[in-house]
């Protein structure tokens, strides 16, 4: 079974840089990037990440179904590197892939070597945002809209954590060693809206699942790695 290393930290804690240094010890690295490029800011962040990575790493851009990407790797890699879980959660939370009907749409990950091919997702963001648009100007229906939003959030909470459980098992069964990066988002103030609070709760639950499965866990503080498991 694969050795799983889980690296957790806040924003700008140095977690990705630390993970990349660990990954450079391997000759054959498959890097799974979960970011979706939607604006110039994230494009610049992705560009900076790509510039740091060795040219011989294989990059797979997969904002959805990371477990399937790992399962479908045709040959053993020295290391599968997933960066990052919180972006992966964000993609699932804001997309309509996990609808109230439970239906799924296919997704094909993109393999890329440069910044010329933006990630394209087939999933339209109509779930939560669609409800909000329908509710605009309809004050008499606000209570009903809020109730619908709560139901969608509750369902997504369960479905996303189920996806994280599947991912953790696929990582355990992998023939390659696995390195996973995630954000700790629960140390600040309580968010002032339901969507942000649900994101915080899902991220905390996902981190617990992955830390429990991992063989080694590191927590990053100001660029310093503390091994906590």
**Which residues carry out catalysis?**
49
Residue 29 phi, psi (nearest 5)? -120, 130
Beta strand 216-221 with 110-112 is: unpaired
Residue-by-residue DSSP string for 64-82: S-HHHHHHT-SS--SEEEE
Query: DSSP character for 189?
Result: P
Contact 79, 178 (CB under 8 A): yes
Q: What is the CA radius of gyration of the chain?
A: 18
Q: How many residues are present in the chain?
A: 229
DSSP 191: P
Query: What six digits make up the tokens of 190?
Result: 């309580």
d(CA 227, CA 216): 7
Cβ-proximal residues to 131 (8 Å cutoff; 6+ apart), any chain: 145, 148, 149, 152
Cα separation, 60 vs 162, in Å, equals 22
């Amino acid at each position: 079974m694969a050795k799983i290393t889980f690296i957790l930290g806040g924003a700008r804690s140095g977690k990705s840089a630390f993970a990349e240094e660990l990954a450079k010890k391997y000759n054959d690295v498959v890097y799974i990037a979960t970011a979706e490029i939607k604006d110039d800011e994230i494009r610049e962040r992705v560009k900076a990440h790509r510039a740091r990575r060795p040219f011989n790493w294989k990059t797979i851009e997969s904002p959805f179904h990371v477990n399937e990407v790992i399962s479908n790797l045709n040959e053993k890699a020295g290391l599968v590197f997933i960066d990052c879980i919180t972006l992966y959660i964000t993609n699932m939370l804001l997309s309509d892939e996990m609808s109230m009907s439970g239906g799924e749409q296919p997704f094909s990950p993109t393999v890329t070597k440069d910044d010329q091919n933006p990630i394209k997702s087939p999933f339209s963001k109509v779930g939560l945002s669609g409800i909000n648009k329908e509710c605009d100007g309809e004050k008499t229906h606000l209570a009903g809209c809020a109730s619908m939003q709560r139901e969608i959030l509750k369902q997504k909470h369960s479905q996303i954590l189920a996806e994280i459980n599947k991912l953790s098992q696929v990582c355990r069964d992998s023939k390659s060693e696995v390195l996973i990066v995630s954000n700790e988002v629960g140390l600040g103030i309580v968010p002032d809206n339901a969507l942000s609070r649900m994101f915080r709760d899902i991220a905390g639950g996902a981190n617990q699942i992955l830390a429990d499965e991992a063989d080694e866990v590191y927590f990053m503080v100001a660029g310093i790695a503390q091994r906590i498991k």
